[in-house]
């Protein structure tokens, strides 16, 4: 693992790191913020999965999470959204290919060899984090934005008991029922829509998967709300299944980091309350 940068901030250390991934067969970059802590202490961790076109840098530079993480003693980890670089397949559109991994393990060519973001975020990066940073892997939370909100919900729903807390900012709640999802899952996984259900939060809930609790914030002025995000489908799925969920429609907020950074401290505090030993 290579350290690309470290910076002091708010009483902690913000680092950016790179390593050679066995899952994606490329170099992968991620960021980790570690609050100052007593020697030998191990801290709870919140994972943040980013949205379409983003890298680790978007939330690292604009997410405004560090003060809250120091206040509550929480490590914050932000991976990239896809493999990148020369020789990695790509697409001319912003919503497919590099920057748009959708947190799936692709089965279709030419994506299958390297677009394995499910394995990367569920297995490889957690193992690296546990080996190199002072994390308590028994106290994990996960959140994300847009495509990353989809990732956070589905990663947690597929692994009951792994995450004590799950939240999302403007998530894609049902890739089976929106253009972004149909394009991505069709391209990466093929035409069998039954294979897509493992990557659809509403379908997973309908099929019996559950979370300990859920917090979702969605802006009412988000231009993607009606066609792509479709928050009402998640609300309906949770109600039908008896899944505890707090889904807040935030008046006048859009899809940007102005929105995310406004509510990020509340999300960090919400996770921290559920991650206490």
Catalytic amino acids?
146, 222, 255
Consecutive H or E run containing 20? strand 12-20
Strand-pairing partners, residue 2, are 18
Where would I find the beta strands (DSSP E) of 67-144? 75-79, 135-144
What backbone torsions phi and psi does residue 180 show, to the nearest 5 degrees?
-55, -50
- How many C-beta atoms lie closer than 10 Å to residue 9's C-beta? 14
Q: Report the side by side order of strands in the sheet with 246-250.
A: 2-9, 12-20, 27-35, 75-79, 43-49, 135-144, 165-169, 215-219, 246-250
Question: Could you tell me if 271 and 239 are in contact, meaning their C-beta atoms sit under 8 angstroms apart?
Answer: no
- The DSSP line for 187-221 is HHH-S-GGGGGGG-HHHHHHTT---S--EEEEETT
- What are the Cα distances from residue 146, in Å, to 181, 271, 273? 11, 19, 24
Strand-pairing partners, residue 76, are 33, 46
């Amino acid at each position: 693992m290579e350290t690309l940068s470290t910076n002091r901030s708010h009483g902690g250390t913000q680092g950016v790191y790179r390593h050679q991934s066995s899952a994606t067969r490329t170099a992968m970059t991620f960021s980790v913020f570690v609050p100052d802590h007593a020697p030998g202490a191990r801290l709870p961790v919140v994972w943040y999965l980013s949205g379409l076109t983003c890298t680790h840098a978007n939330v690292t530079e604009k997410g405004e999470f560090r003060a809250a993480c120091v206040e509550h003693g929480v490590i914050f980890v932000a991976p990239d959204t896809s493999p990148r670089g020369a020789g990695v397949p790509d697409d001319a559109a912003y919503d497919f290919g590099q920057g748009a991994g959708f947190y799936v393990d692709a089965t279709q060519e030419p994506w299958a060899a390297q677009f394995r973001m499910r394995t990367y975020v569920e297995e490889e990066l957690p193992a690296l984090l546990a080996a190199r940073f002072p994390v308590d892997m028994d106290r994990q939370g996960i959140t994300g934005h847009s495509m990353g909100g989809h990732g956070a919900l589905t990663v947690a729903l597929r692994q009951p008991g792994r995450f004590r807390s799950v939240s999302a900012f403007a998530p894609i709640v049902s890739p089976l029922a929106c253009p972004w999802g149909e394009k991505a899952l069709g391209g990466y996984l093929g035409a069998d829509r039954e294979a897509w259900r493992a990557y659809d939060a509403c379908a997973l809930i309908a099929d019996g998967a559950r979370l300990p609790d859920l917090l979702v914030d969605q802006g009412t002025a988000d231009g993607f709300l009606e066609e792509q995000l479709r928050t009402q489908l998640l609300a309906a799925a949770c109600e039908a299944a008896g899944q505890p969920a707090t889904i807040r429609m935030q008046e006048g907020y859009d899809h940007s980091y102005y929105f995310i950074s406004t509510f990020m401290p509340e999300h960090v505090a919400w996770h921290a309350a559920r991650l206490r030993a």
